[in-house]
Structure 1
Amino acid sequence: MPRATKIVATLGPASSAPEVLERMILAGVDVVRLNFSHGTADDHIARANVVREVAKAAGKSVAIMADLQGPKIRVGKFEGGHTELVAGQQFILDASSNDLGNHERVGLDYKELPRDVRPGDILLLNDGLLKLVVNTVRADAVHTTVVAGGPLSNNKGINKAGGGLTAPALTAKDMEDIKTAMAFQCEYLAVSFPKSATDMEMARQLANVAGQQWRHRPALIAKIERIEAIPALESILRASDGIMVARGDLAIEVGNAAVPALQKRMIKMARELDRVVITATQMMESMIHNPVPTRAEVSDVANAVLDGTDAVMLSAETATGKYPVETIEQMAAIALEAESAEDSSIDTDFADKRFERIDQSIAMGALFTAHHLGCKAIVALTESGSTALWMSRHNVKVPIFGLTSQPFSERRMALYRNVRPLLMNSCSDRDDALAQAEALLIESGALRPGDTYAITCGEPMGHPGGTNMLKVCRVG
């Protein structure tokens, strides 16, 4: 069995060279993440073009995810670039200051902080490593006492324990960045810090307008990293094409201990609602500096795979780490091993379940038939990729191949668990399309003479949402 779980890798200084990117793709990268918190519009467009060229040369379907920065809830800059906070000292966060900070105070990028906090609130800086308690708020200055100290450098992030910061999910910068992302037609657009379905609906409207001249509509990924998003999770999912379990900021707001159960809940809900899900943050953190992961990191990746995540994501590990290719190789090996321990749940998944759509019923019928006949492959001829997505929501020990004539759909399917996208020629004749599909799978090594496979398609051909046929074939 080929690996079912997909790998998302962040591009950065350690991985931008075409030769390194090629090695990463060959090692197992399925989606490349462009982090819009860094770089210019021209940088992102140039990197996207390199990704497309390298992936084509490597003969692999690779999607691009543009990850919006979201609101900058950060401290300003310091004299000398940093300071040291000591437990018990007084420290001021000053929204009115544009001067360089020192050991007594620092300015803020987020000017609304004084209106969002009250005495007794806990502020967590630098990914939760520093802890401050709010004493008083005087005009634009938040006066605090340091509870847990340590080094604090330029532009480190601020979180409020328990949530409650009013910063909007989409900033003016994000709106410009959406236009940039549409210029290179990213397959996925990740929205940072959404609190409601309305945030995702606004992002979709902006993306659709910006992509209109290319007739391009990206899939939207909601990054779940605010405590306010948890009670709104189902509505956010329904307004999105998928979610990212963004465990860094989320853990700071809800507490580390709450994250594992939330991760399982989010993955389960996403699969039930036919949405994709990415598990992210610190999955292989030690490999930024070390050539092998810790045992805890191995267990973390494996558990996400066993939970049913579509993809596991690497951030600094591939963006700035010393071992980007080795990290991907290790992650791919862990995923494969975890998948080998999974049981198929296809029979229990279908118990007492009703399907209202013909195309979805055909997709489920293909899964059930292929599982019980012991087919070598399930093949979905699909324009939009929806049939392959529905199939991928269920754990079945049969590889799914999504065959499409649309390059965008081919790359989009690169994120779907247990789906191998393949590009085929457009066919209006059903028999020609079926013959071409079989030839492609034989050429790829997925099928051999004597193998059986299940294939779905729609008649007439070429109409999205028209899947209405299931056929079981044997290779002659």
Structure 2
Amino acid sequence: PVIIATQMLTSMINSTMPTRADVSDIANAVFEGADALILSDETAIGKYPVEAVKVMIRTIEEAEKAYEYKLEEYKHVSPDFAIAYSSCILAEELGAKAIVVFTKSGSSAKRVAKFRPKPIIIVNVHDEEVLRRMKIVWGVLPYMVLSEKEDSESMVKEFIKKAYAENLIKEDDILVLTMGYPIGKIGSTNLIRVIKRDQILKFISISK
């Protein structure tokens, strides 16, 4: 992940209003593809830390609305990156609500994020620590720590039922899933799967 820090909103150390230059710096960082922006003096010694955070958030949100989501053409990528890139292309072509990544180490999610897809990247992992690390990756929603499952179908069902119950997905959504076989093995991501209405309805109707 690319993290940009230091002097992002220096003008707000002693003022409730940012300068145009500071706001432009934040927006440009978003347009350049930064994963995370950090405030330092603005919140550590500044007079208006809360206001600075609000300005940072608002500027990032507005910049993201104007962000040009455009998948560039990549050639000669490794098999791992080919899976990630293909999932992004597929999600774009199908108008998918999300790219759902089941990952052991988090590397698969980072590879998908590299291509800056427009759909949100929902990440499901096997370890709480990995889930926390995913919070800093561009476009990623670290969603759940999976219970121990022996097969991919059980993992997908667990995710669908939870996400539907929490209104994260709807029955008419299209989802693009990436996962690996064998289950839970680092570096095994080798599958892409499309989930549509009939499958979502099937999973949410299963009682256990």
Mapped pair 1:277 → 2:2: yes
Counterpart in the other structure of 1:375: 96
2:86 paired residue number = 365
Tell me the alpha carbon deviations over residues 204-258 of structure 1, each in whole angstroms, 9 at most, x when there is no partner: xxxxxxxxxxxxxxxxxxxxxxxxxxxxxxxxxxxxxxxxxxxxxxxxxxxxxxx
Deviation digits for residues 97-155 of structure 1, max 9, x if unmatched? xxxxxxxxxxxxxxxxxxxxxxxxxxxxxxxxxxxxxxxxxxxxxxxxxxxxxxxxxxx
Paired with 1:444 and 1:307, the residues of 2 have a C-alpha distance of 33
Matches within 5 A, 1:235-384: 276-346=1-71, 348-350=72-74, 353-357=75-79, 359-384=80-105
Alignment partner of 1:349: what SS? coil
Q: Which has the higher strand share?
A: 1
Larger Rg: 1
**Mapped contact 1:383–1:405 kept (Cα < 8 A):** yes
Q: Is 1:428–1:460's contact at 8 Å kept on the other side of the alignment?
A: no
Partner of 1:467: 189
Give yes or no for contact 1:406–1:423 (8 Å, CA) kept in 2: no
- Residues 327 and 442 (structure 1), Cα distance of their counterparts in 2 relative to 1, 3 Å cut: farther
Correspondence for 1:433: 155
Q: How many residues align?
A: 197
Q: Which residue of 1 aligns with 2:128?
A: 407
What is the aligned partner in structure 2 of residue 142 from structure 1?
none
Deviation track 1:434-471 (CA, whole Å, cap 9, x = no partner) reads 01122233244331111111011111211111111111
Percent identical? 37
Q: TM-score, normalised by structure 2?
A: 0.89
Structure 2: gaps of 5 or more residues = 202-208
For 2:157 and 2:50, locate their aligned partners in 1 and report how far apart those are by CA, in whole Å.
38
Deviation at 1:360, TM superposition (A): 2.6
Cα distance in 2 between the residues matched to 1:440 and 1:310? 27
* C-alpha separation in 2, matches of 1:441 and 1:354: 35
Counterpart CA distance in 2 for 1:440 and 1:293 is 41
Could you state the TM-score of these two structures normalised by the residue count of structure 1? Answer: 0.40
Residue 323 of structure 1 deviates from its aligned partner by 2.5
Which structure 1 residue ranges, 5 or more long, are not aligned?
1-275
1:371 match: secondary structure: helix
Whichever structure has more helix as a proportion of its residues is: 2
Aligned partner (choices 141, 144, 153) of residue 420 of structure 1: 141
User: Following superposition of structure 1 onto structure 2, how do residues 146-157 of structure 1 map, counting pairs within 5 Å?
Assistant: none
CA RMSD, 1 decimal: 1.5
Partner of 2:168: 446
Distance 1:338 1:369 in 2: 25
